[in-house]
């Protein structure tokens, strides 16, 4: 099952006791706890029946301890959250490139215009807050500001989503990126992405359905972190940071598949290149 519904209102419930264990969650369900959003009920039903579940929206959904517990108990792989399709896809392509070249970041301003119901829903500040959370954290794990405070310790990241009916089912992102090179010299990068949300999301849905089915057949369960490639805010173990770079995610996806197939992983190490030479 793959959740593709609109964004739900943001709720900071991660620490609420009803979501910490499966037992507490099932009790809360029976008591009709109002805090439980609709998408979470669908997710529960899916996992209860042993059907793998992917969360394409920024809602918490399966991203609570109770449902991770159920997914492990029922040997049901899960993945989430929020399909990575437009502006955030580009962000996790470009940020690793700037980082690789150690170009400092002063600011990243992202504006989006959307015309359909998705945009209308996100015009509501409470719904936008859910999106802001999944979209806002992608730079941190890529830039490693703890290792490079001079370059990435103080950038300003602002994201806007604007309902704009003339755009219809299409979507448009505009990014302005302020970077710094040697001697503190300032440079700017502007990205204008004229795209279509459903066209970018549909293959993500298909890939996830196929890979979650494969995972279940291969005996994998719980959070499928190797499918982070498809998500804005990859669900991961509480003691780890998510990987956001599209290229690290791509390496992980492909090398995990190679391991499942019993093939050697690819690491691009270069010395064999010279050994072959002899």
Please state the closest distance from residue 19 (CB atom) to its own copies, in A: 20
Which listed residue (81, 99, 131, 135) is catalytic?
Answer: 131
Which listed residue (81, 84, 135, 232) is catalytic?
Answer: 232
Please state the closest distance from residue 217 (CB atom) to its own copies, in A: 15
> Measured from the CB atom, is 66 or 113 closer to its own copies?
113
How does DSSP assign 21-78, residue by residue? Answer: SHHHHHHHHHTT-TTS-HHHHHHHHHHHTT--EEE-SSS-TT-SHHHHHHHHHTT-EE
> E-strand spans in the chain?
2-3, 53-55, 77-80, 104-114, 156-163, 170-180, 186-196, 222-223
> Measured from the CB atom, is 146 or 273 closer to its own copies?
273
> Measured from the CB atom, is 28 or 159 closer to its own copies?
159
232 as an active site residue: the answer is yes
Please state the closest distance from residue 11 (CB atom) to its own copies, in A: 23
Please state the closest distance from residue 6 (CB atom) to its own copies, in A: 21
- Alpha-carbon gap, residue 178 to 108, rounded angstroms: 6
- Alpha-carbon gap, residue 161 to 172, rounded angstroms: 10
207 as an active site residue: the answer is no
> Measured from the CB atom, is 26 or 69 closer to its own copies?
69
81 as an active site residue: the answer is no
Reported as type and span, the H/E element at residue 242 is none
Which listed residue (81, 99, 171, 175) is catalytic?
Answer: 171
State the burial class of residue 205 (Cβ atoms within 10 Å of its Cβ: 0-12, 13-18, 19+): middle
Which listed residue (63, 82, 118, 175) is catalytic?
Answer: 82
Report the catalytic residues. 82, 131, 171, 232
């Amino acid at each position: 099952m793959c959740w593709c519904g609109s964004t739900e209102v943001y709720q900071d419930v991660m620490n609420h006791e009803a979501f910490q264990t499966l037992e507490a969650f099932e009790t809360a369900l029976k008591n009709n706890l109002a805090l439980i959003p609709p998408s979470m009920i669908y997710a529960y039903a899916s996992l209860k029946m042993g059907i793998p579940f992917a969360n394409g929206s920024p809602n918490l959904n399966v991203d609570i301890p109770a449902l991770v517990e159920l997914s492990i108990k029922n040997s049901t792989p899960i993945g989430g959250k929020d399909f990575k399709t437009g502006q955030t896809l580009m962000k996790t392509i470009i940020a690793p490139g700037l980082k690789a070249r150690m170009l400092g970041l002063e600011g990243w301003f992202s504006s989006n215009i959307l015309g359909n119901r998705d945009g209308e829903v996100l015009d509501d500040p409470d719904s936008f807050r859910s999106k802001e959370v999944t979209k806002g954290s992608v730079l941190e794990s890529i830039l490693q500001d703890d290792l490079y405070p001079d370059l990435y310790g103080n950038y300003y990241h602002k994201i806007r989503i604007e309902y704009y009916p003339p755009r219809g089912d299409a979507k448009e992102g505009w990014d302005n990126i302020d970077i710094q090179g040697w001697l503190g010299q300032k440079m700017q990068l502007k990205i204008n992405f004229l795209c279509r949300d459903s066209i970018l999301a549909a293959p993500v849905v298909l890939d996830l359905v196929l890979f979650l089915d494969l995972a279940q057949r291969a005996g994998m369960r719980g959070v499928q972190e190797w499918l982070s490639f498809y998500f804005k805010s990859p669900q991961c173990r509480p003691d780890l940071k998510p990987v956001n770079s599209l290229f690290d995610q791509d390496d992980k996806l492909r090398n995990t598949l190679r391991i499942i197939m019993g093939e050697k992983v690819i690491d691009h190490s270069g010395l064999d290149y010279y050994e072959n030479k002899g």
